[in-house]
Amino acid sequence: MDKMWSGRFSEASSSLLDDFNASIMYDRRLYKEDIEGSLAHAAMLQAQGILNSDELKAIQEGMAQVLQEIESGEFEWKISDEDLHMAIEKRLTSIIGDVGGKLHTARSRNDQVAVDFRRYVLRKDREIAQLLKSLLEVIVAIAEEHTSTLLPGMTHLQHAQPINFGFHMLAYASMFKRDIERFEDSRRRNNISPLGCAALAGTPHNINREMTAETLGFDSVSVNCLDTVSDRDFALEILFNISTMMMHISRLSEEIIMWSSYEFGFVELSDAYSTGSSIMPQKKNPDVPELLRGKTGRVNGNLIALLTVMKGLPLAYNKDTQEDKEGVFDSIDTAEISLEILREALKTMTVKTENMEKACQKGHLTATDLADYLVEKCGVPFRETHFISGKAVARSEALGIDISEMSFEELKKIDGRINEDVMPYLVLRNSMNARQSQGATATVRTKEQVEFFKEYIKGLNI
């Protein structure tokens, strides 16, 4: 009967219950947050006259020893202690005696875990945003190098219009920028302290919640204790943010997988971030982007799992909430290594510009430019020009050439209003550079976007 809550029980817990009930084998990664929260709480209790200075000093020195034991690997984590809070408090009490038992005055494990877990998630919001910033720097550097590199822009995975590779990569920069903003928004919104809410209804002790909030780096204290001890929106938000980010990573990974195939031949991953086949010696497999694509399903599952846990819980704390951490820990670990390896794979990736530009000569990418010519130079309604351009594509197909290779004579046969000044409209690079509306693909506009992202990165305070 060594449980700290066992006073009203006459039988010891079964070992099966200990195994089923305990969270200590995974929530122990919150040990720093737990010790920091306890030290802030103890300092507040002393300031409020609930502890004396000698008791505070004993707690501080005892906690320093506990921290040293944990970080050196000496600390014994036991299933029977249930969770890290009980394990740390029990060890503290064994070091400093009964004074250790005073630390839990005006505090419950409910607000204690809410503080620990929230601070951990807030820290990871920032760390993931920092990793995203590092990835963004690599993508923008690639884009800056390729503002003139022609690439077939696609819709429905069909050749559509000529763009440049830098413009394409900046589309992903835009996605990852939004991801950074989501993590930063979540961190600001959830940076409130649960400490002092106790089990659910607050405490009769004369505590100072603002003091502990300031000590722990929170912006403010929570408004309603009943909500606070059962709130896991911050955990759901980081899971959603990670799922959205990994969806973006998965989309980029899918393109890298296609681009690195012989059918496309647009990029080549370095040997350091590729693998081979156990039976086919010629193979160079894009395992990194494939795994990144696959891990997206994993983090999506963690989000759905916690949403399902929370959907039916009455106020306030319920043991179901113990299921909040493993999925969050797993998604965070997945996000961090995914961002790191994607950054390095992109940094070492070879871009095959000649193959990209050669691919632009397939699929009649300048067909829309012929229609635009007829609108601008001949005053033909666009719906009619669309039909005329379609006939030109059909004729190109019959001749076995791309529309960009058609002669003026062939075009004139299709519609007599076409003059020789049509020819520059069919040049692929001219087509790309003609698109100069704000945010468009023209090299000059892509360079503006590069500068925008460089200034954005420079201004990030994370």
Residue written as token pair 């530009």: 357
Helix (H) or strand (E) holding 256: helix 233-259
Residues 171, 153: Cα–Cα separation, whole Å: 12
Distance of CA 430 to the CA centre of its chain: 37
Residues 263, 259: Cα–Cα separation, whole Å: 8
DSSP 407-462: -HHHHHHH-TT--GGGGGGG-HHHHHHH--STT-SSHHHHHHHHHHHHHHHHH---
302: CB partners within 8 A, 6+ apart: 239, 243, 327, 328, 330, 331
Candidates 14, 134, 277, 407; catalytic one? 277
Cα angle 362, 363, 364; round to 5 = 100
Residues 233, 118: Cα–Cα separation, whole Å: 10
Residues 74, 31: Cα–Cα separation, whole Å: 14
What does the block give as tokens for 412?
Answer: 């004139």
- Decide if 53 is catalytic: no
Each residue of 423-455: b (16+ CB within 10 Å) or e? bebbebeebbbbbeeeebbbbebbbebbebbbe
Helix (H) or strand (E) holding 162: strand 158-164
| CA proximity to 427, closest of 456, 451, 393, 404 | 404
Distance of CA 375 to the CA centre of its chain: 45
3-state secondary structure at position 173: helix
- Decide if 277 is catalytic: yes
Residue written as token pair 């023209």: 442
Candidates 53, 156, 278, 437; catalytic one? 156
Residues 85, 362: Cα–Cα separation, whole Å: 64
Catalytic residues: 156, 277
